[in-house]
Structure 1
């Protein structure tokens, strides 16, 4: 099978999808923004060939690259795994007559108000939402729904560019800060615990699924320096009744949005008003979560994805042996990292349960809190007990300090 894969080199874990495709027998034809010479020898060995273009989100350039390959071989699949690449890839896929995720599905997964309207119409619980391009549309929505609300880019992912609004004063300030933005999504703020449900789906059914929990919720984590936020993948996914509703609704989301054979990423909240979906992506989740799934389930998740794409089936078993999680460690202030304390202590205490860690060298400039979970230092761990793992990660957060000047 010939698979055209969009942007094999960046971000760094993109290479793992290429490796997986090559491992299950595909000939991988890359399209990326970097010169071929910049790719390392191992990555080049997994690629059958490679075309460089200026931007992989430029549908004209991407289509030309795909048509170049089609003039030489039969292209069976065209795949992308990054949020901003999904819609342009789907547009080129349809234009070139290649099977896979449709433009409609990609659009619904990218355009948050349209997605939520489609899900709500099908009975999938979501936060109330609207797309707004004028001050009047925003204030009318707030008048109907009440505070708090959130405002974010219509095609935003996660908490990126998201602002929580609690009163009229904050609303006025948020509207003024939007500047020349053409349109935004305005949503009811859902109170409750937040997590995400990820799958490797084949013909719309989850062949593998994974459940993660955020501590605390993302919006708070991305706005508060002193918090060392975590997300933890549970190994209790198959416990009787524990996640039955989440799995049922996840399958319904696939049906409504038309997601067939694809990775999926579904953000959810659960609180006094029950379970609600907030965002859905027809792509893998980010921030290294697939590495946690691999360690927790003793499987090669990237190869599993590739086997689904190439062969339409699964060749692995999720063992559910370990819960696996990550804790982000923020510098005490912005500036330059001057050193760390507590790292050796943590390794001495939990060495057998450590997956890996990342501590930028002293002298490295810090990244802002809102840059995300992997922007500065972090630690990843596993344990057979979910509750024990949570306690271990809390201990890391109390013990390790990132000093900055």
Structure 2
């Protein structure tokens, strides 16, 4: 909202909360607001925008939350508003259809199927070999994702996902290797800003293992180090194949014994505050750059690549309520000049499950001109800071 308002857009919001529940700044940025009961209902959003269209022309309709993307695409198409199409949105949400389209475009992907038939899924797993990954067809990140090492684990995951009771899932060959992501802002199908990040460890392990303090790091070597050219070339191939035009994108990839493999892409910004890291690392307001792209179809700022920047998630040692923290002062004394920001919920705060993500509990974000030094600093923070709960 802030960025759209700043570049001169007349911003009209559609949401589920009453206008009175919005903060003062939000109300200032908005020209008009329409409340609906369900922002994922095309009929309700259409109804709200029909009121708006009687007064002003609608030039763009944008959504940045994964669950809202298809509704926005359907409404855009019905109203004749420019933006990401229903077909592109479907391909960016339905994992089996996405990979089928990209395999046809010669993008290297894991073998996969989408199915609601237990016997078909078992046959697929037998053909590609265990382990296999089971997840919702429209999953975001590692939500409701299972790694199955054998038939018994596969059957349990399928039952959990509702297969055999009318539900269909994505089932994929497990790809061994290091995991990262490539994010962009695109204008007219052309990449105008891009970023490469690395996960330590891979997401599935990070979201399942309490003792790990996982991190991801945006590298400032993306334009200079060997290897990133292959990621950037594959990403552009994906954008072209899926018909992505003016949008933010978030693409996951793996690199291992089978080489570079595409994992999935969202036609939206990344989560977990990744854009904040990109801003801090590159002396740029990326939110304003996104607004420039969707409103004026242009790029205004240049990335400095001065820093790498990353986040380390700090997990409570058990579920319950936060009791306190150890080691925070030591890290602040050692690396204070490089700390971007941090979040330490006060004692008494209920803990969140490990699977809730990198920012669910305590976290710390840092930057440094040298990528390897930043990794060392984040590792030190993960080892030193202890979150006590009980």
Taking structure 1 as the reference length, what is the TM-score of the superposition? 0.95
Partner of 2:12: 29
> In structure 2, what is the Cα distance between the partners aligned to 1:324 and 1:24?
27
> In structure 2, what is the Cα distance between the partners aligned to 1:265 and 1:120?
19
Partner of 1:314: 299
The answer on 1:289 being equivalent to 2:267 is no
Q: Please give the per-residue CA displacement for 1:164-191, whole angstroms capped at 9, x wherever unaligned.
A: 0111221222223233461000000100
Q: Please give the per-residue CA displacement for 1:271-311, whole angstroms capped at 9, x wherever unaligned.
A: 11111111101100000000000000000000000001111
| Aligned 1:2-401 pairs, distance under 5 A | 18-179=1-162, 180=165, 182-239=167-224, 241-401=226-386
Question: Do 1:230 and 1:326's aligned partners in 2 also have CA atoms closer than 8 Å?
Answer: yes
**Do the aligned partners of residues 96 and 396 (structure 1) sit closer, same or farther apart at CA in structure 2, a change above 3 Å counting?**
same
Q: CA deviation at 1:134?
A: 1.5
> In structure 1, what is the Cα distance between the partners aligned to 2:160 and 2:57?
49
**Do the aligned partners of residues 172 and 208 (structure 1) sit closer, same or farther apart at CA in structure 2, a change above 3 Å counting?**
same
Question: Do 1:67 and 1:96's aligned partners in 2 also have CA atoms closer than 8 Å?
Answer: no
What count of residue pairs does the alignment treat as equivalent? 388
> In structure 2, what is the Cα distance between the partners aligned to 1:302 and 1:250?
21
Q: CA deviation at 1:65?
A: 1.2
Question: Do 1:265 and 1:280's aligned partners in 2 also have CA atoms closer than 8 Å?
Answer: yes
> In structure 2, what is the Cα distance between the partners aligned to 1:216 and 1:389?
16
Partner of 1:15: none
Q: CA deviation at 1:51?
A: 0.5
Q: CA deviation at 1:312?
A: 0.6
> In structure 2, what is the Cα distance between the partners aligned to 1:356 and 1:222?
22
> In structure 2, what is the Cα distance between the partners aligned to 1:273 and 1:175?
27
Residue segments in structure 1 that go unaligned for 5+ positions in a row = 1-17
Question: Do 2:248 and 2:267's aligned partners in 1 also have CA atoms closer than 8 Å?
Answer: yes
After TM superposition, where is structure 1 displaced by more than 2 Å over at least 4 residues in a row? 175-181
Partner SS, residue 61 of structure 2: strand
Residue segments in structure 2 that go unaligned for 5+ positions in a row = none
> In structure 1, what is the Cα distance between the partners aligned to 2:349 and 2:180?
32
